Structure 1
Amino acid sequence: MAEGIGKKNLAGIADVCSAGSQPSKVNPLAIQVLKEIGIDISHQKSKSLDSIDKNTIDLVITLCAEEICPIFPGNVKRLHWPLPDPSNPKYSSDEQLKLFRKVRDDLKNRIQNLRDEMKSWKR
């Protein structure tokens, strides 16, 4: 979700990509809740950190809360946004959908704030 929201809200400011330590698939609930706000991520693929060219990254944002965060080496700016994993099987389907929406809205707000902050960063 962060990649889809980031690509929409940071267009022209940053190139956005995402990856994880255990890629699998894009969750259908993520696709659904972003579609509700006009963002189509149905074409996105879950990617491994190994697929990212580490030499092109200036900022790494980790989103993990309950799970182990991946380590991204290098001299980059780092932010940590500890968000719950809405696909956690301990939640019912209805709870997952509500949590996906909550995380979506949190990400949207954080990315908008980041956009405002990034405008003042030196390139």
Structure 2
Amino acid sequence: MTDHPLNVLFLCTGNSARSILAESILNAAGKGRFKAYSAGSHPAGQVNPLVLDWLKKQGLPTGRLRSKSWDEFAAPDAPKLDFVITVCDNAAGEVCPVWPGQPMTAHWGIEDPAAVAGSEEARRHAVSMAAMMLNRRIALFTSLPLNKLDALSLQRELKAIGELRNTGD
């Protein structure tokens, strides 16, 4: 597609779990080909501590992660986005800002680990399950031959990745 890293924004409502996981995972897996960001329509104001713990245990970057509004990415000085991917059903149904550069969009709904009640073990398991599904989808995304796909084919591939279901394996 281009010689510069492709900018990917992951959106969620609270920007405390799923989109944060996706940002960190893609920044590690993208090997300089992608620059991932995350934001929320109604940011929680802090990253879920269990998400930070999971990322640290995996050796993934956490230093720059913060819960922030998607408005930052609609500002005139924001990075030009190549892809905007919603990872929660609520954010997918909201009216999003107008993104500079007309990025390609997709929806990759993931269950919210931050919404899981119960024991710490159950909440940690929910974070691991969300991360596993995001890892799978991001691996497929980063393996796409982006320079060989036309826009319609790429949009189809992004949609298919979002339709993957968690099989628990």
Q: TM-score, normalised by structure 1?
A: 0.84
**Counterpart contact for 2:46–2:67, Cα < 8 Å:** yes
Q: Distance in 2 between the 1:82 and 1:20 partners?
A: 14
Correspondent of 2:138 among 111, 114, 117: 111
Q: Distance in 1 between the 2:148 and 2:46 partners?
A: 34
Higher strand proportion: 2
Q: Distance in 1 between the 2:124 and 2:88 partners?
A: 18
Q: Please state how far the C-alpha of 1:68 moved relative to its aligned partner.
A: 3.9
SS of alignment partner, residue 29 of structure 1: helix
Q: Distance in 2 between the 1:72 and 1:62 partners?
A: 13
Moved more, 45-54 or 69-78: 69-78
Give 1:28's aligned amino acid: P
Q: Please state how far the C-alpha of 1:30 moved relative to its aligned partner.
A: 0.4
CA RMSD in angstroms, aligned pairs only: 2.1
Q: Distance in 2 between the 1:104 and 1:60 partners?
A: 18
**Counterpart contact for 2:116–2:126, Cα < 8 Å:** no
Give 2:37's aligned amino acid: C
Count, aligned residues? 121
Q: Distance in 1 between the 2:97 and 2:29 partners?
A: 24
2:55 is aligned to 34
Q: Which has the higher contact order (CA 8 A, sep 6+)?
A: 1
Q: Distance in 2 between the 1:49 and 1:118 partners?
A: 28
Q: Please state how far the C-alpha of 1:119 moved relative to its aligned partner.
A: 4.3
Gaps of 5+ in 2: 1-20, 150-169
Q: Please state how far the C-alpha of 1:95 moved relative to its aligned partner.
A: 1.5
Q: List per-residue Cα deviations over 1:23-64 (Å, max 9, x = no partner).
A: 121111001111221113154111111111566011011000
1:45 aligns with 2:70: no
Question: Would the alpha carbon gap of residues 73 and 95 (structure 1) be closer, same or farther in structure 2, given more than 3 Å must change?
Answer: same
Q: Percent identity?
A: 27
Gaps of 5+ in 1: none
2:103 is aligned to 76
Question: Would the alpha carbon gap of residues 68 and 18 (structure 1) be closer, same or farther in structure 2, given more than 3 Å must change?
Answer: closer
Q: Distance in 2 between the 1:103 and 1:88 partners?
A: 12
